A and B are shown apart, each in its own frame.
Chain A
């Protein structure tokens, strides 16, 4: 952390604070005001919807970042806890009329437990075989449990879509009804999750995870209980996934197994690879970048449809093409991701004009 000249601290608490100077505090408060007041007041529904998508991607990718970036467990099935969380939340609200916040907690626990169960093989194997078990989690949860069993449970057919009345999404007197409400709820959730994660990484737990990531055998030799911490990582990542799923339900008021296919799991991994592995900034940048590129593709296809009829119908394919190429090119040319680039730019500005 670079500090201005003459700044000194009288206590360890102050020394370990996130924002050490008044300037930083003002900046962060300003950011908060912009996010929570200015944007909802002046931005139209379309772009709020876009930001909601970014927020959902952030919420989903944080769990992937925890597993891949911080604990070194490769997961290719993170859409499973997200989907189960969304379905658990929806089912409890739909069948039993559970209040929204309670259903949210149930969704988080469901996602966490699912992730924990499929994380059990990580006690014994790692690497390739763990990729297999996470992919098994993806297929078993989404294609079998959600599609075949949970849809019919709510009286819908197989692969049925669950729709919740928007009025049910209420926290006290506040009903999350408009896109604007969903946006504010998204900002609150993202802030809570990021603060939670950033602080968790500074505690014993986070350091144990990073020790496991860097060298699991050395970590065990130093007394880190690998089994406990790996399973904890699975549980927390799954619970965060469940939270993302509940937010998705809030945002859309409908949920279908179609939303959580393998492609979404891979998309989330792509997001953290493009943003930067092992960095919370990476999650934000990756989510912004990928969702932004999607939006660009959408806008680029509209004028193209004059020359190329049916361009709009090809949106999904062009999106996949761009996503695939983005992952490949980032991995080849910028393997450290956007977060590293951001750090370089910040450093450059800090050091200017003596950037040696």
Chain B
């Protein structure tokens, strides 16, 4: 039972990081209807920028994190302006393929700059020894990552519900035509979408880098988190967060209890199988809008 609780808690804590990535995914889908296949690369860039600020320039971790967020804002604006703005009004497949192009290009750039070796945050940001909550071990990295991710979420929730641009984004997601006729500029909404996606994924990247070290394969994280978005419902932000937590738990449970029966690959596949089941049962996800076109 202790073992099970430990797995559950670790899963939940990792799920917080996944929730950040899922949020980056969901917000772009929600406002523009595009699956951003470069999400993993946004994560990767965030991780590496934070790494560079913390290790190469020797800033304290909090400063590195904030600096990474600032750079993420700049990169978000740049990405949207250069490559997504010209695609407004194009078919969705074209825009998705543009994000594929972005993912290839960004991944290559990161690999050119930082190389393919695994980089570790040294000196360690979070202490190694686990915290004891009664009989349950909790790794400090996971715990603090969860807290940072939670703070990020709280700020974003405030942003969506209380600020002008956040409300404009919600309006655009709800009905783009109506929002535009009410005087909400679509381009600034898209810009903010990318900024937020970049920031949210970047935080997740920095935290993941603290857990496993950074290498190029962190770009696959974006795809591994996809089930979270689908389970939660593609156009629901709370759904994405809940989906992220669910995926974190599922992944750890699958790894602990099912993987011994199979030769391998269960940890990353189990969420996908659950996703397929959820798609058969509720294709729009647990909290998504029931607005699916059936054949």
Binding site for B on A (CB under 8 A): 68, 74, 121-129, 131-133, 135-136, 139-140, 143-144, 147-149, 152, 158, 216, 226-227, 262-263, 266, 269-270, 273, 314, 316-321, 323-328, 331-332, 335
Knowing A139-B269, A327-B101, A331-B101, the reply to whether A320 touches B93 (Cβ < 8 A) is no
In the bound complex, do residue B90 and residue A270 qualify as a contact, i.e. CB atoms below 8 Å apart? no
In the bound complex, do residue A320 and residue B97 qualify as a contact, i.e. CB atoms below 8 Å apart? no
In the bound complex, do residue A123 and residue B105 qualify as a contact, i.e. CB atoms below 8 Å apart? no
Please give, as numbers and ranges, the residues of chain B lying within 8 Å of A140 by CB-CB distance: 269, 272
In the bound complex, do residue B93 and residue A74 qualify as a contact, i.e. CB atoms below 8 Å apart? yes
In the bound complex, do residue B294 and residue A328 qualify as a contact, i.e. CB atoms below 8 Å apart? no
The CA of A335 and the CA of B89, in the complex, are separated in Å by: 12
A328 touches which one: B90, B96, B105 (CB < 8 A)? B105
In the bound complex, do residue B83 and residue A136 qualify as a contact, i.e. CB atoms below 8 Å apart? no
In the bound complex, do residue B265 and residue A144 qualify as a contact, i.e. CB atoms below 8 Å apart? yes
Please give, as numbers and ranges, the residues of chain B lying within 8 Å of A326 by CB-CB distance: 101
Knowing A129-B279, A320-B108, the reply to whether A325 touches B101 (Cβ < 8 A) is yes
The CA of A131 and the CA of B33, in the complex, are separated in Å by: 13
Say whether chain B's binding surface is mostly helix, strand, loop, or mixed.
helix
In the bound complex, do residue B83 and residue A125 qualify as a contact, i.e. CB atoms below 8 Å apart? no
Please give, as numbers and ranges, the residues of chain A lying within 8 Å of B103 by CB-CB distance: 324
In the bound complex, do residue B295 and residue A324 qualify as a contact, i.e. CB atoms below 8 Å apart? no
The closest CB in chain A to the CB of B90 belongs to A335
The CA of A323 and the CA of B263, in the complex, are separated in Å by: 35
Please give, as numbers and ranges, the residues of chain A lying within 8 Å of B87 by CB-CB distance: 331-332
The CA of A125 and the CA of B100, in the complex, are separated in Å by: 23
How close is B87's CB to chain A, nearest CB, in angstroms? 7
Please give, as numbers and ranges, the residues of chain B lying within 8 Å of A262 by CB-CB distance: 223
The closest CB in chain B to the CB of A138 belongs to B223
In the bound complex, do residue B108 and residue A127 qualify as a contact, i.e. CB atoms below 8 Å apart? no
Please give, as numbers and ranges, the residues of chain B lying within 8 Å of A74 by CB-CB distance: 93, 96
The CA of A128 and the CA of B150, in the complex, are separated in Å by: 29
The CA of A267 and the CA of B268, in the complex, are separated in Å by: 23
How close is A29's CB to chain B, nearest CB, in angstroms? 38
Please give, as numbers and ranges, the residues of chain B lying within 8 Å of A125 by CB-CB distance: 279, 283, 292-295
In the bound complex, do residue A269 and residue B97 qualify as a contact, i.e. CB atoms below 8 Å apart? yes
B223-238 contact mask (Cβ, 8 Å, vs A): 1 or 0: 1001000100010000
Q: Is residue B70 contacting chain A, with contact meaning CB distance below 8 A?
A: no
The CA of A129 and the CA of B285, in the complex, are separated in Å by: 11
Q: B28-60: which residues lie under 8 A (CB-CB) from chain A?
A: 35
The CA of A335 and the CA of B264, in the complex, are separated in Å by: 42
In the bound complex, do residue B100 and residue A314 qualify as a contact, i.e. CB atoms below 8 Å apart? no
The CA of A143 and the CA of B272, in the complex, are separated in Å by: 12
Please give, as numbers and ranges, the residues of chain B lying within 8 Å of A133 by CB-CB distance: 276, 279
A321 touches which one: B109, B223, B230 (CB < 8 A)? B109
The CA of A134 and the CA of B112, in the complex, are separated in Å by: 30
B112 touches which one: A139, A270, A318 (CB < 8 A)? A318
Please give, as numbers and ranges, the residues of chain B lying within 8 Å of A273 by CB-CB distance: 94, 97
The CA of A316 and the CA of B111, in the complex, are separated in Å by: 10
In the bound complex, do residue B293 and residue A126 qualify as a contact, i.e. CB atoms below 8 Å apart? yes
In the bound complex, do residue A324 and residue B35 qualify as a contact, i.e. CB atoms below 8 Å apart? no
Knowing A139-B272, A317-B111, the reply to whether A128 touches B97 (Cβ < 8 A) is no
In the bound complex, do residue A325 and residue B105 qualify as a contact, i.e. CB atoms below 8 Å apart? yes
Knowing A266-B104, A324-B108, A335-B94, the reply to whether A148 touches B272 (Cβ < 8 A) is no
In the bound complex, do residue A324 and residue B104 qualify as a contact, i.e. CB atoms below 8 Å apart? yes
Q: Give the most central of A126, A323, A324: most B CB within 10 Å.
A: A324
Q: Is residue B102 contacting chain A, with contact meaning CB distance below 8 A?
A: yes
Please give, as numbers and ranges, the residues of chain A lying within 8 Å of B97 by CB-CB distance: 269-270, 273, 327, 331
In the bound complex, do residue A331 and residue B94 qualify as a contact, i.e. CB atoms below 8 Å apart? yes
| 26 examples of A-B residue contacts, CB within 8 angstroms | A124-B294, A125-B295, A126-B295, A131-B35, A132-B230, A133-B276, A136-B272, A148-B262, A148-B263, A148-B265, A152-B263, A262-B223, A269-B100, A273-B94, A318-B108, A321-B104, A321-B105, A323-B101, A323-B104, A324-B105, A327-B101, A328-B98, A328-B101, A331-B94, A331-B97, A331-B98
